[in-house]
Amino acid sequence: MLKTGEQVARHLQEYFLDHAEIFPIAVQWGLNFASHRSAAARAVALAVRRNTTRMAQRFIAGATPAEALTAIRKLRRQSLAFTLDLLGEATLSEEEAATYQRRYLDLLAALATASRNWEPVELIDTDQAGPIPRVNVSLKLTALYSQFDAIDPERGAARVKERLRPLFRAATEVGAFVTIDMEQYRYKDLTLRVFKEILEEDEFQAWPQAGIVLQAYLRETEQDLRDLLTWVKARGTPIGVRLVRGAYWDYETVIARQHDWPVPVFHRKWETDINFERLVTILLEQYQLLRPAIATHNIRSIAYALAASQRLGLPERAVEFQMLYGMGDAIKAALVQLGQRLRVYAPFGELIPGMGYLVRRLLENTSNDSFLRQSFVEHAAVDELLQSPEEERLHDSGALAGDQPPSHEVFHNEPELDFAQEENRRRFQDALTSVCQQLGRTYPLMMNGEAIFTKAEIVSRNPSHPDEIVGRVARAGVAEAERSVSTAWHALPTWRATPAAARADYLFRAAAAMRDRRVELAAWEVREAGKPWREADADVCEAIDYLIYYGREMLRLAPARQLDDLAGEVNAYVYQPRGVAVVIAPWNFPLAILTGMTSAALVAGNTVIMKPAEQTSVIAAKLMEIFSSIGLPAGALSYLPGLGEEVGEHLVTHPRTNLIAFTGSLAVGLHINALVAQTVEGQRGIKKVIAELGGKNAIIVDDDADLDEAVLGTVASAFGYAGQKCSACSRVIVLEQVYELFLRRLVVAIRSLRIGPAEDPGTFVPPLIDDEARQKVRHSITVAKGEGRVVLQIQEPREGYFVGPVIVADVSPQAVIAQEEIFGPVLAVLKARSFDEALEIALGTPYALTGGLYSRSPAHIERARQDLRVGNLYINRKITGALVGRQPFGGLGLSGIGAKAGGSDYLLQFMEPRVITENTLRRGFAPRNDGDTRQ
């Protein structure tokens, strides 16, 4: 939020000092020679602010309803109809959604009153069938419900319809037309569903003044249009359809590529253009039912629509054209002259919240594919501008980057499920139902291929419904632990001698088996770990990633390295496994972390004893099933569920174990470290500990941060999976200039989150893992209440181990709540007077796992890169959700001992290097060195 001239000047200097030559001389002087506090710099800032406002005024029809009304009157004087759109911040809370709805209601009332005094303009106030509404608004459904998410369509549709009904009612009362804008692809199906369902209700069934937008750049739109037509015929009342190309092309392409999902938009502009024309034809053929509005600035498309309507013999004014405020004004004038009905989409609202809209328009005006740029900036010839997209198809030679299938040479993360697809939601729901039928079974521990049942059991419960027993798992004691070490010890020579490529192949086969069972495994996580759908799915993907990544890493590291090229001597650098590895895993990433540590140890040639967390022993049993199913040699891996203090301790101190891979709390990690430091009798080496421990992670919110993004990122980082991630944000440090505003938006955003059982697809905050965890977090909350201002404490559901989210503001950096790890949904908010102070606070704990910064200042971002020394630093995004290979994960300070999981140094910790030197000189004869001694 750049409020003062000084702030603007500082940003100008940071962004443009190296490119000052693009500015006029006076401005260069202001940037170069003046401090951002000087009068000269402030004058430059003022000029820039003025220009930005002027630019915004070109595309935005005013900041207030009064200004918008003035703009409308001006439009009508030019025989241009309008549709008004209210710009706003992203709707992060129900409070904001309610405000948005109220503003629309006020707007409809104000427009209705004002419209009584408007002079009639026949060209725009009537169509082929008679008078049409003069008042026309456009709105976005995501603004009406803060949790609008395709993963939970039932709740999403119900809540949006609740807010939409009063708006439609008001529109019917004042005789207005309402169009539902189309937003990102992930909202499309839900938007169409809401539109159809509400218009089927008795109250609106015969109301013809509602419309929807369809985007020609989407491959699915033709089918959507045909479905819509069938539905309109059944409903019996016409609707309006605004056809656009689509405003989020870059976004859709980037997001799909990032997730490895099919790209929903056409890759090439001419494909969109051909589709646009195809859809125009369908719309015009059905103009009485679909009342077409052709929304484009592209004269080829406009000409096509005009010609098609003539060819089809449509009456005059049956087709409406629509264009954006401030764009293509010359084309607007020409259409009016031709006697065409033209409506201008006029957004209004404050500049800063409207920035997203403004950026989309600027992108459009500057894109190489933009019609307006080609016609008005590049002055392309008319023939070229009117050229058929079919012609372009003929001349298009090259394939685009997006056309190629992903290469198998490079590592790709397993794509997460796209829950906007109904098929994926159905598969997931089916898996949950199927898992439900398998609850309560008994699972043995596994050793040397033998299933062993014990008298003692671990009873695993569903944290959302503690009465539900997920499974009963054999509980190993010291005797079984002893046997597991002996098994691992005896299996070691054979497993170690298995070629690295064969070991890697076991991992690839395990990955394939896991992929086959991915929704089932995720469903077990929902039941046993209380993970909401997306989190559960992501955990399974991460587990698959580890298998593939470490398999590939082993192939990379396995060949012996020749150290030099001297005749007569061969020096080979090789790795060997450390021996018997003990894997002690946590419950919060029950499959991913267990799989990661186990597969790394195995592929490096160690035999492994896998001790999962008690709370998620059933998921671990599933992992063991997978390894058994692919024929992993029996002794290479043992599954030893049991209590940490009993079997864990025995394994750690056993003279025949060589390596401990642990992920968990600081206290246990330090205890293990202290234990292994003492050599016991019979021990033949110094044990290696690899430990991922806790964090007290902070996000800094700078005074210029995009608060929409900062609030969303903090909510996701602090309250996703109820804060039970070592990477979770537990401190947010906010610069004082934006402190109160950020806090206010954060509180209402969290109040709007859904707290509920993990199996409910809309749940954001699930229960804690067990009662012990709940008691600990409750104790921390009691302490926190004495250390700050509790600005939010949400009531928790009765059933399940829930703790409602808590926010404590005005916390001192030294307070217990700002220093000690809390594994739960509790967030401390701290105020910083300067960026330096914010950094100091962030670094003021002994942990250094993850950290984040929301800022638009290049200088501050650079400072954070240098000085915010945490294991994983995230800039302008959430601080959880590291991906294997892309964000190798692990901390510094007291947050861990060891190199990053999912990174290129990780496997080395599970091996030790050896050097083999051979003198190859035989009586004066030195053979060539080409020995490639594979391990």
Residues at the interface with ligand FDA (CB under 6 A)? 181-182, 213, 215, 217, 242, 244-249, 265-269, 271-272, 295-298, 322-324, 345, 364, 369-372
State the greatest distance between any 2 C-alpha atoms of the chain, in Å, as a whole number.
112
State how far Cα 246 lies from the chain centre: 22
692 is catalytic: yes
Smallest CA-to-CA distance from 213 within 199, 192, 232, 194 is with 192
d(CA 553, CA 508): 12
C-alpha torsion 895→899→904→910, nearest 10? -130
Q: Which two tokens stand for residue 853?
A: 């910064």
Three-state SS at 42: helix
- Residue 373's CB is within 10 A of a number of other CB atoms, namely 15
Question: What stretches of 13-125 adopt beta strand conformation (E)?
Answer: 81-86
Q: Which is nearer to ligand FDA, 22 or 382 (CB)?
A: 382
Shortest distance, position 55 Cβ to ligand FDA, whole Å: 18
Radius of gyration of the chain (CA): 32
d(CA 449, CA 490): 14
DSSP 826-865: EEEEEEESSHHHHHHHHT-SSEESEEEEE---HHHHHHHH
Shortest distance, position 138 Cβ to ligand FDA, whole Å: 7
Shortest distance, position 140 Cβ to ligand FDA, whole Å: 8
Q: Which is nearer to ligand FDA, 36 or 341 (CB)?
A: 341
C-alpha torsion 446→449→453→457, nearest 10? 10
- Cα-based distances in Å from 224 to 230, 266, 814: 10, 16, 57
d(CA 532, CA 816): 30
Q: Which two tokens stand for residue 225?
A: 């249009």
CA angle at 763 for the pair 888 and 731, rounded to the nearest 5°: 50
Q: Which is nearer to ligand FDA, 271 or 759 (CB)?
A: 271
Q: Which is nearer to ligand FDA, 36 or 245 (CB)?
A: 245
677, 512 contact by CB (below 8 A): no
Smallest CA-to-CA distance from 290 within 320, 315, 263, 266 is with 320
Helical residues (DSSP H) of 754-898, grouped into ranges? 771-785, 816-819, 835-842, 858-867
Three-state SS at 776: helix
Q: Which is nearer to ligand FDA, 402 or 406 (CB)?
A: 402
Residue in 692, 759, 796, 821 annotated catalytic: 692
d(CA 599, CA 576): 16
Q: Which is nearer to ligand FDA, 169 or 267 (CB)?
A: 267
40, 742 contact by CB (below 8 A): no
Shortest distance, position 82 Cβ to ligand FDA, whole Å: 10
Shortest distance, position 216 Cβ to ligand FDA, whole Å: 7
Print burial letters for 305-333: b (CB count within 10 Å at least 16), e (below 16): bbebbeeeebeebbbbbbbbbbbbbebbe
d(CA 675, CA 127): 85
Shortest distance, position 827 Cβ to ligand FDA, whole Å: 35
Q: Which is nearer to ligand FDA, 248 or 287 (CB)?
A: 248
Q: Which is nearer to ligand FDA, 236 or 398 (CB)?
A: 398
Shortest distance, position 298 Cβ to ligand FDA, whole Å: 4
Print burial letters for 70-83: b (CB count within 10 Å at least 16), e (below 16): ebbeebbeebbbbb
Q: Which two tokens stand for residue 107?
A: 């707007």
Q: Which two tokens stand for residue 509?
A: 């086969």
DSSP 469: E
Three-state SS at 141: helix
Residue in 726, 759, 796, 821 annotated catalytic: 726
122 is catalytic: no
DSSP 644: I
Shortest distance, position 751 Cβ to ligand FDA, whole Å: 29
Q: Which is nearer to ligand FDA, 181 or 706 (CB)?
A: 181
Q: Which is nearer to ligand FDA, 279 or 620 (CB)?
A: 279
Shortest distance, position 436 Cβ to ligand FDA, whole Å: 40
Shortest distance, position 268 Cβ to ligand FDA, whole Å: 5
Shortest distance, position 84 Cβ to ligand FDA, whole Å: 11
Shortest distance, position 375 Cβ to ligand FDA, whole Å: 9
- Cα-based distances in Å from 414 to 260, 419, 486, 629, 683: 8, 15, 36, 21, 41
Looking at residue 280, its amino acid is V
Catalytic sites, residue numbers: 692, 726
